[in-house]
Amino acid sequence: MRALMRIVAVLTVLWCGYWFVGARVLTSEGRTALDQMQEDGRLGYGAFSIGGFPARFEADLADLSVRDPAAGWAWSVPQVAVHALAYSPNRVIAVLPPEQTLRVAGETFAVTTKDMRASVAFGLSSAVPLTHAEAVSGPLTARSDQGWSLAMDALRLAARQEDGEGFRYRLGAEATALTLAGAPAVMLAKAGLADGPGRVRLDADAVLDRALDRSAAEVPPRMTALKVRSLELDWGRLALRGAGDLRIGADGTPEGTIQLRLANWRDLPPLLVALGVIAEAEAPALTRTMGQLALLSGGAGELSLPLSFTGGWVALGPLPLGPAPRF
């Protein structure tokens, strides 16, 4: 019995030592990384602490803000709680607050969520490579400072490192029961479409020029290719499906084609008019052209069109849409 108690006592001391050493390392390295990003203008925070003894490592961040001035976005929250089980520190779970602020392209969104959580798993090496990441949320609403809003019942995002050559990551995203309010809903109504509910789902592979690991904070990886396995968008009667491959140049410009299939495509021309992509006078000619293409696609009810990215521009079939987005 005494021998057993000695063993328990020794193990307890060793475990306590492990936890306190681990907490000290996390505090030191965590604060160093945060301070470095703060100096670079990419991050701001008010307080940082480590707790959770004896079973977990728990990090609390107050007044956190993350931004990328070059890309034109910023995100801030009043608090984030991040924790990992002490015996599995490479698997991290973050609990996000119900109120967040997102700024994109000069527009600010007040985001409210329910039960938003994220989990990240890292490889057991000094580079700390990302192997899997997932984020889920219950009902979510984003209200713009320009008077419109987007709501959904659920949001799911995921990324997983794929085996094989190169730095390939499988990406997944899905938003369900989407609804719009404000100016976008008015535009949809003008096009004869409802303001929801809608659904978006994406399954894709992204190839990067380097791994997503601890060095990514200093030198962000660049996407070199994107394979869209499946893109699905349902909104009212309009149903879109797509798949294709894009190559991404050094300046972020995509080249390639995503083949789209549109069911109930006749709802598209009035939608493009409502969005200001084409003039109302151009809609009849576009409808006739799309009707002929639909017949060539094998049926009047479904239309197959390429979404083409060439020379920095994007076009939907014969219709130019404008400059291509940068990745």
User: Could you read off the pLDDT of 186-207 as tens digits, one per residue?
Assistant: 888 877 777 668 899 999 999 9
> Is the predicted pLDDT of residue 145 greater than 80, yes or no?
yes
Half-sphere exposure of 250 (CA within 13 A, CB side): 0
Residue-wise pLDDT for 29-44, tens only, equals 888 888 888 888 888 9
Distance CA 43, CA 67 (A): 6
User: At residue 300, what is the residue type?
Assistant: A
Comparing 4-8, 108-112, 145-149, 248-252, the range with the smallest average pLDDT is 4-8
pTM reported for the whole predicted model: 0.87
Q: Which of 97, 95, 137, 88 minimizes the C-alpha distance to 119?
A: 95
What is the chain's alpha carbon radius of gyration, rounded to the nearest angstrom?
24
> pLDDT band for position 1 (50/70/90)?
low
> pLDDT band for position 224 (50/70/90)?
very high
CB 175 within 8 A of CB 155: yes
Domains of the chain, residue spans: 1-86
Residue-level pLDDT at 24:
84
> pLDDT band for position 19 (50/70/90)?
confident
Residue-wise pLDDT for 88-120, tens only, equals 888 999 999 999 999 998 899 999 999 999 999
In sign, the C-alpha dihedral spanning 68, 69, 70, 72 is positive
Residue-level pLDDT at 30:
80
Bridge partners, residue 285, by sequence: none
Distance CA 242, CA 59 (A): 41
Residue-level pLDDT at 116:
96
Residue-level pLDDT at 277:
72
Both tokens of residue 317?
A: 């079939």
User: At residue 165, what is the residue type?
Assistant: E
Q: Which residue has the higher pLDDT, 72 or 173?
A: 173
Q: Which of 74, 61, 4 minimizes the C-alpha distance to 31?
A: 61
